[in-house]
């Protein structure tokens, strides 16, 4: 490359055009943008000549063309633009935030992609060496599930609690001797705490599709030794739960004391009770929903769009190259807006700026902007972008309505037959032996409604709720008769409290006589389940130890 630029310099000098070119860049600053673009294109083509003999688009040095003349450039400009720019008295703004992103991109050039499964350590690994069929037809030849445990399993093996995580959650919910770093639910799990490890054997997994030890898009496809990338199959929340129950089989746990989840984990807790009604004693669903609604779908859609718009995403095949960290950073900033609440930010940041004495800037300036920038920057290389795409999509398509569940069951049955016809019976054993199939007959048989006097009509939901859709959801949830705790938060904008109220009241309409619903007025928004130990923790402890 040094030889190339030296030759360019000597060529310009030997042809007596060096001084003229320098003068053009010095005196006609308005042309720099055009000249830079013009020269860059040619320099790139000549670089290809020096670096690749097979590039037919490369140009020899002798054919070097100078940028269009000043007069030609003036003709290309919109009216008055040239004169206005020439007379401008204001210097261009500086953009240190953009410069920093550029520098970071250069530092990542050449990879490798961060080893996400090494970010969290100390977990155990369950390996399932048989093909795993996903609801929409994709097959994983084998899978791994990262999990961590706390407490002891009793002799009856009936004191196990499964903690199910949110979108980006790892199995590290609580510190332990193999990983002393605080877990994401550190203050909730432990001796005498909300989830008392003196009484319960607690299990937390990283969901399939994730990147913290469980099989996901960044994992190696054993079929060819390459990363799955976007060859990874589309997942559902039910796929995640089926994989978790394979782990429970391995651990010798036939029935859970409780399935406990927040956010996406709350979806999984509902799915667990629906898929395996005889293997779950009670459930807790916090800040979740029984069907994803348009607002949350829209938020996750925008995150995926900005991520996939990053040219380094490369349709998912960015491993061993530059990861799409800019798109990932922006996606996380959008997500962070939905995780917390306006009232909290009013108290925490207000309208304060980072440097009050400095003039306003287009880069992060207000404290709320610097907070979002920090959150995005911290996260963008700690989580696999493809995992974000797949898991967020699984959340979008989650729907416990009977018609949707019945359709999904038909699709799965058809795909199971295809898998059996394509391979040996043993290769699909886990599909045919999946205990969730035992619910298929009763789950889609519409329950006979008793007299309306035995069933209190839903009156606290919005009056504009579609009655047919509501009945469909009631029918879908009617199999869940377990003692259920449903928690909602008034300041949650990602999963508004009315969605948790919908869960509770549809469970009651479906015949569940043991449903507890709490609505919290915490100002921490969706993240309340991570922060409010007093209210959330107390409700969890009460339901686990005294509920039902």
Write b or e for each residue in 362-375: b if 16 or more Cβ atoms lie within 10 A of its Cβ, otherwise e: ebbbebbbbbbbeb
Place of tokens 């921490």: 524
- Tokens for 102? 């550029």
Please, which residues bridge with residue 139 across strands? 133
Q: CA-CA distance, 506 to 437, in Å (whole number)?
A: 24
The total of other beta-carbon atoms located within 10 Å of residue 7's CB is 14
User: What length is written for the chain?
Assistant: 548
Q: CA-CA distance, 451 to 448, in Å (whole number)?
A: 10
Q: Which residue, among 279, 269, 209, has the nearest Cα to 239 in the 3D structure?
A: 209
Q: CA-CA distance, 350 to 356, in Å (whole number)?
A: 13
The total of other beta-carbon atoms located within 10 Å of residue 453's CB is 6
Active site residue 413: no
Half-sphere exposure of 306 (CA within 13 A, CB side): 18
Looking at 117, 399, 492, 527, which residue is catalytic? 492
Please, which residues bridge with residue 203 across strands? 149, 162
The total of other beta-carbon atoms located within 10 Å of residue 82's CB is 17
**Cα dist from 240 to 22, 145, 268, 395, whole Å:** 63, 10, 8, 11
Looking at 259, 262, 263, 387, which residue is catalytic? 263
- Specify burial of residue 87 (Cβ count, 10 A radius: 0-12, 13-18, 19+): exposed
Q: What is the dihedral of CA 445, 398, 404, 271, to 10 degrees?
A: -10
Q: Return the SS3 of 67.
A: coil
Q: What are phi and psi of 213, to 5 degrees?
A: 115, -30
Place of tokens 């913290």: 212
The total of other beta-carbon atoms located within 10 Å of residue 489's CB is 29
Q: CA-CA distance, 212 to 129, in Å (whole number)?
A: 19
Q: Where are the beta strands (DSSP E) in 54-103?
A: none
Q: CA-CA distance, 183 to 530, in Å (whole number)?
A: 11
Q: CA-CA distance, 194 to 182, in Å (whole number)?
A: 16
Q: CA-CA distance, 282 to 514, in Å (whole number)?
A: 10
Helices (H) and strands (E) in the chain, counts: 20, 14
- Tokens for 427? 């290769």
Q: Which residue, among 304, 300, 256, 303, has the nearest Cα to 281 in the 3D structure?
A: 256
- Secondary structure percentages of the chain, helix, strand, coil, to 5: 50, 10, 40
Active site residue 176: no
Q: CA-CA distance, 326 to 169, in Å (whole number)?
A: 21
Active site residue 463: no
Looking at 128, 257, 475, 526, which residue is catalytic? 526
Q: Which residues are catalytic?
A: 263, 492, 526
């Amino acid at each position: 490359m040094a030889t190339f630029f030296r030759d360019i310099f000597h060529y310009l000098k030997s042809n007596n055009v060096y001084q003229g070119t320098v003068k053009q860049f010095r005196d006609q600053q308005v042309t720099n943008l055009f000249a830079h673009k013009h020269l860059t294109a040619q320099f790139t083509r000549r670089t290809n000549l020096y670096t690749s003999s097979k590039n037919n688009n490369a140009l020899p040095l002798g054919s070097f063309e100078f940028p269009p003349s000043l007069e030609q450039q003036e003709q290309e400009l919109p009216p008055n633009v040239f004169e206005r720019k020439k007379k401008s008295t204001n210097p261009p703004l500086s953009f240190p935030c953009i410069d920093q992103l550029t520098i970071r991109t250069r530092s990542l050039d050449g990879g490798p992609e961060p080893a996400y499964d090494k970010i969290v350590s100390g977990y155990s690994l369950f390996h399932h060496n048989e093909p795993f069929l996903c609801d929409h037809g994709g097959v994983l030849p084998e899978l791994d599930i990262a999990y961590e445990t706390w407490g002891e399993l009793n002799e009856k093996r009936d004191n196990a609690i499964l903690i199910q995580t949110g979108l980006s959650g790892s199995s590290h919910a609580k510190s332990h001797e193999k990983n002393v770093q605080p877990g994401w639910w550190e203050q909730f799990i432990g001796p005498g705490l909300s989830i008392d490890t003196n009484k319960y054997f607690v299990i937390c997994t990283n969901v399939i599709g994730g990147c913290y030890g469980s099989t996901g898009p960044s994992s190696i496809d054993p079929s060819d030794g390459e990363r799955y990338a976007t060859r990874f199959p589309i997942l559902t929340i039910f796929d995640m739960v089926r994989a978790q129950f394979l782990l429970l089989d391995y651990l010798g746990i036939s029935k859970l004391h409780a399935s406990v989840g927040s956010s996406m984990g709350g979806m999984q807790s509902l799915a667990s009770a629906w898929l395996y009604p005889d293997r779950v004693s009670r459930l807790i669903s916090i800040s979740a929903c029984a069907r994803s609604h348009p607002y949350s779908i829209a938020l996750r859609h925008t995150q995926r769009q900005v991520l996939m718009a990053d040219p380094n995403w490369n349709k998912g095949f960015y491993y061993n190259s530059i990861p799409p960290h800019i798109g990932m950073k922006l996606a996380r900033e959008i997500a962070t807006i939905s995780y917390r609440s306006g009232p909290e930010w009013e108290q925490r940041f207000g309208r304060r700026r980072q440097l009050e004495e400095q003039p306003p800037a287009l880069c992060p300036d207000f404290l709320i902007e610097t907070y979002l920038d920090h959150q995005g920057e911290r996260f963008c290389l700690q989580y696999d972008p493809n995992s974000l795409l797949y898991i967020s999509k699984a959340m979008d398509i989650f729907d416990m309505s009977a018609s949707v569940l019945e359709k999904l069951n038909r699709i799965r049955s058809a795909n199971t037959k295809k898998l059996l016809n394509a391979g040996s019976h043993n290769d699909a054993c886990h599909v045919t032996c999946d205990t969730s199939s035992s619910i298929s007959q009763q789950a889609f048989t519409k329950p006979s409604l008793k007299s309306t006097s035995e069933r209190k009509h839903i009156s606290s939901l919005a009056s504009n709720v579609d009655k047919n859709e509501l009945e469909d959801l009631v029918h879908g949830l009617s199999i869940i008769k377990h003692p259920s705790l449903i928690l909602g938060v008034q300041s949650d904008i990602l999963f508004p409290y009315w969605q948790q109220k919908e869960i509770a009241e549809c469970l009651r309409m479906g015949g569940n006589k043991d449903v507890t619903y709490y609505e919290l007025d915490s100002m921490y928004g969706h993240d309340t389940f991570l922060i409010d130990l007093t209210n959330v923790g107390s409700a969890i402890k009460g339901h686990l130890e005294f509920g039902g």
